[in-house]
Structure 1
Amino acid sequence: MTATYYVQNVLSQMKSAINEQRPKISSSRTLHLHDNAGPHKARATIQSLRELGIQVLPHPAYSPDLAPCDFWLFPILKDRLAGGKFDRIQDLAKAVNSELWTIREEDYRGVFRKWQIKLKCCIESHGEYF
């Protein structure tokens, strides 16, 4: 994913979803977690987030254990899609999207409870490894 794709496709949809799901809460009161991936740190992304009024929760460097996609979601997707052959990027995107919809809401909620525990440990250790 590039910063251009992220800004044009993901952030605009995220802003719309926030406005739709929480019409009484402005997006400036919503914290968005970004890890330290290139598209998230790119100048275009940072500028777009400012323009959209979306605040970013800082993510400690070198801490993939604090990114739910890294410690939970990507391993699930890798396991489920292992051995698959995709001739076109669109086929891969369709397969990933299909798998995402099979994950139960309770599983998503559970991972965010675990994520809160991990964040608390990080805060208590003053950002050191634990």
Structure 2
Amino acid sequence: HVANVTFQKINQLGGEPLIHPPYSPDCAPSDYHLFASLAHSLTGKNFVDKPHIKNHLRLYFASKKPDFYASGIDLLPIKWQHVIDNNGEYFEN
């Protein structure tokens, strides 16, 4: 889905928008490397306020080494190709 203003601007510039569903379970951000790991770090946690959440996130991201992020980025084309190969249909990871 594309916001109407954005759609009009794309047309004005001669582009063609890619029509896609607003949400695809095959590409949900929560399925990606970073967020799966983050979800695991949150298991069993109870936060009393926003500063505690921010602190947890700050410590979590600071604890990750560059190779953690690199491996997640390296997995993206494989994940995207899997979605393409399955014609956007749901699949189990």
TM range (shorter): 0.5 to 0.7
Paired residue secondary structure (2:46):
coil
Point out the structure with the larger strand share.
Answer: 1
Q: 2:49 aligns to what?
A: 88
CA radius of gyration, larger in? 2
CA-to-aligned-CA distance 1:15-48 (integer Å, 9 cap, x gap): xxxxxxxxxxxxxxxxxxxxx9xxxx8x6xx86x
TM-score, normalization: structure 2? 0.58
Structure possessing the higher relative contact order (Cα contacts under 8 Å, 6 or more residues apart): 2
Q: 1:125 aligns to what?
A: 86
The answer to whether structure 1 residue 70 and structure 2 residue 30 are counterparts is yes
Question: What is the root-mean-square deviation of aligned Cα atoms in Å?
Answer: 3.2
- Decide whether the 8 Å contact of 1:77 with 1:99 is kept in 2: yes
Deviation at 1:79, TM superposition (A): 2.3
- Decide whether the 8 Å contact of 2:34 with 2:72 is kept in 1: no
In the alignment of these two chains, the number of paired residues is 78
TM-score, normalization: structure 1? 0.45
What is the CA–CA distance in structure 1 between the aligned matches of 2:46 and 2:90, rounded to whole Å?
A: 38
Paired residue secondary structure (1:126):
coil
Aligned partner letter, 2:30: D
Percent sequence identity over matched residues? 24
Q: Which runs of 5+ in 1 are unaligned?
A: 1-35, 51-56
